[in-house]
Structure 1
């Protein structure tokens, strides 16, 4: 770990918690809890925690911060396009991961998993090099990147630099039941996560604060408390689905841009789920090429709301309502579609 100061304690899981998390067969290093709220990260996060917390924030930076599978990719592309004067050509020529790197991604790929992937690609020097880049910490690369920088993270605000809001931050929240379904499919599809349990077991981990980046509601509330800050824009995934042009205009206002109705309509076409599925710069084809993702899975899935109903039985539905009600009791945060 870096010799920079880090204000938060990082603790190992209890034996019982660690046992439940063994269902993530691709996470070979195990998990830890970070800070007073006990946010879940992998052991490898210890190597980067202080570097992230102490990283330089530039006023020209734009961060997309979300809990995982809350519309992150959708928002990244929207934000990048709005900030970069709708440069469709550049967006096609560079992958979203190049244009908008994922700050703590390397904590997800244990070094032994990298060795495994490289062995699978033995003899293919180009792919082995790409695997090395994908699985290495990106803090130095981010530090050396020219402005304006676009950065994605699933870390809660408290684990980011204290002056993060010197930059622009777009935070997106989504109904946790839909998050659970989407995240479940992602964790099954990514070899380096390798979720081997059923959906119900996955849901139990989410509501018991035992999944990556949980506690879920603390994550949201930290951002919600800052929603009036001029440098933070708080969005709901459901609003993006309901009225994408309005959200595009909000993002444009936030980033000091102005686009015509025709330009906004064209961007809406570009941002459709069907367009995303066909767009290699967005749909993470490189993960399949490198063996990080199962070949028959999709990174961009359905992108709809309410799909959780196909996965929840009556007991889980009641459990979800109780969990959400208890966690929203001490805040005025409300999901727009539930009001």
Structure 2
């Protein structure tokens, strides 16, 4: 790579100290039968076996070597852990509670998902182009789906707000020492897996076609994107006392949103009045949040990225859904699974 390319991309691909291996053929074949959004296959990374679809393969080294700035604000989560709510909260706290701009500019523009283009394979992209061929505006929007977000973020001026679902170990090595602010949000896995299941049914990029018990088996055996879940969460938990990392629980966020806003603003160094915090709390209230077009990916719905007759991107915003989804055997299995992975850790999820 030339020095010019390195400067433009903010990274050098050669520094990626993790072995990449394809998922064994028999498992890969079964995954492709159940996750129709992926068309080629899946691979795993490093000794922790981070799991990704084939579209991530050429991008992970670039993301690992991304050039971090001290003024960056990052949100790191396993998917469906309260990411969108946290993004909106953080952006408003760092932008003078500019509700007008937050409503007029999409969250994806204000707070880019740095590996977003990695979730779109060429076959699905071609299908979306064909489906939207009658509109030049939609074709332009579809073309942008596979443009490198990493490159665009690298070129951004001023403070950057960055979302990722990558685990800390696959992110830049200096992320927690460069001076930027990093917020990690964790969520109880029994609620999270339900939200992930519905999310995987909604998005054509995943297009999971089986029932919840089947998805649960994939989830607990680490065959869903960005897994393994426990490694993801425990890596961050072990770093929770780092000066530039704030570790949050989604359960606490939902239980007392105002308290969480105060905690986040203290971490970010902002200072708003009680009335201003109450205004932000009202803006983030799930009933209002669900109606907020700037955070709901309405543009993706228009392009056909969402499957019809599935639940929306922003759903219930609740804790305790597991009781309605897990039968007795599954619940017992899940509790044992949780206990096994936490037996050597002091991590405890808040009661709900």
TM-score category (smaller protein): over 0.9
Aligned residues: 338
Q: Does 1:9 align with 2:22?
A: no
Distance in 2 separating the partners of 1:329 and 1:19 = 34
Distance in 2 separating the partners of 1:242 and 1:280 = 24
Distance in 2 separating the partners of 1:77 and 1:272 = 11
Shift of 1:3: 4.2
Shift of 1:101: 0.8
Distance in 1 separating the partners of 2:119 and 2:313 = 16
Distance in 2 separating the partners of 1:99 and 1:30 = 32
Equivalent position of 1:28 in the other structure: 39
Gaps of 5+ in 1: none
Give the stretch that moved more between structures: 294-303 or 7-16.
294-303
- Cα pair 2:13 2:65 within 8 Å, conserved: no
- Cα pair 1:40 1:210 within 8 Å, conserved: yes
Equivalent position of 2:298 in the other structure: 285
Q: Does 1:205 align with 2:215?
A: no
User: Could you say what the CA RMSD is over the residues aligned between the two structures, in angstroms?
Assistant: 1.3
- Cα pair 1:17 1:210 within 8 Å, conserved: no
**Counterpart pick for 2:241 among 215, 221, 228:** 228
* Correspondence 1:47-58 to 2 at 5 A: 47-58=58-69
Structure 1 residue matching 2:128: 3-state secondary structure: helix
Shift of 1:16: 3.0
Equivalent position of 1:337 in the other structure: 351
Equivalent position of 2:56 in the other structure: 45
**Counterpart pick for 1:153 among 147, 164, 168:** 164
Shift of 1:117: 0.5
TM-score normalised by length of structure 2: 0.94
Distance in 2 separating the partners of 1:252 and 1:305 = 24
TM-score normalised by length of structure 1: 0.97
Distance in 2 separating the partners of 1:221 and 1:204 = 21
- Cα pair 1:30 1:42 within 8 Å, conserved: yes
Distance in 1 separating the partners of 2:92 and 2:17 = 36
Shift of 1:317: 0.2
Structure 2 residue matching 1:299: 3-state secondary structure: coil
Equivalent position of 1:67 in the other structure: 78
- Cα pair 1:53 1:160 within 8 Å, conserved: yes
* Correspondence 1:311-326 to 2 at 5 A: 311-326=325-340
- Cα pair 2:193 2:216 within 8 Å, conserved: yes
**Counterpart pick for 1:304 among 318, 342, 349:** 318
